[in-house]
């Protein structure tokens, strides 16, 4: 059986582009049809369908290739768990062009340093986000989740519901919102 390379790419936001990572994987010899991706999922979230598919696709002797370690994991324990599970299955891990060798003490130390930096970077991003939100909140620019319907739409929805001609599902479809949004609107306006 021939060893193959399986690639994995990830971005944290839905609108981010994976092209650079996919091109990097292709340059490393990964076939485009063997690249698994996750979009809109952070590296600290272990529930990633693309990662699960990539891990399921690799077999003994294969290599899982990621452009950078932070694409695979954003915490030291998670990175270690993935690397240890791959090693136990006889699968190699390549971080860019470097093959991770868990038997080599220097390679193991370097891997742990990279994982520490990936975790640190994730912590800094979360810290900056919280700081930015606190500043925006203090300036009155962060007001929380905005209602799906305007005041006028809410009143019309309630009026239509009171006629008894429209079901909750009908109202949800007419106003292009979910049924829970209709329920919340009705209960909020019923209290007033």
Which active-site residues does the annotation give? 12
Backbone angles phi, psi at 80, to 5 degrees: -65, -45
Neighbour count for residue 108 (Cβ, 10 Å): 15
Lookup: tokens for 62: 């294969």
18: nearest Cα among 30, 4, 1: 30
End-to-end CA distance of the chain: 71
Backbone angles phi, psi at 7, to 5 degrees: -105, 155
115: nearest Cα among 81, 158, 146: 81
């Amino acid at each position: 059986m021939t060893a193959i390379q399986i690639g994995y790419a990830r971005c944290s936001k839905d609108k981010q582009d994976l092209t650079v990572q996919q091109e990097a994987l292709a340059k490393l010899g990964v076939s485009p049809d063997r690249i698994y991706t996750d979009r809109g999922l952070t590296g600290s979230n272990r529930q990633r369908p693309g990662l699960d598919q990539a891990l399921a696709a690799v077999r003994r002797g294969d290599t899982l290739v990621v452009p950078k370690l932070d694409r695979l994991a954003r915490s030291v324990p998670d990175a270690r768990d993935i690397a240890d599970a791959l090693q136990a299955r006889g699968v190699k891990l390549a971080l860019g062009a470097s093959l991770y060798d868990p038997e080599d003490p220097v390679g193991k130390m370097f891997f742990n340093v990279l994982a520490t930096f990936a975790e640190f970077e994730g912590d800094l991003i979360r810290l900056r986000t919280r700081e930015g939100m606190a500043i925006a909140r203090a300036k009155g620019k962060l007001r929380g989740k905005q209602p799906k319907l305007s005041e006028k739409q809410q009143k019309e929805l309630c009026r239509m519901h009171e006629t008894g001609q429209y079901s909750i599902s009908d109202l949800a479809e007419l106003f292009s919102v979910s049924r829970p949004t209709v329920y919340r609107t009705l209960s909020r306006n019923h209290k007033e």
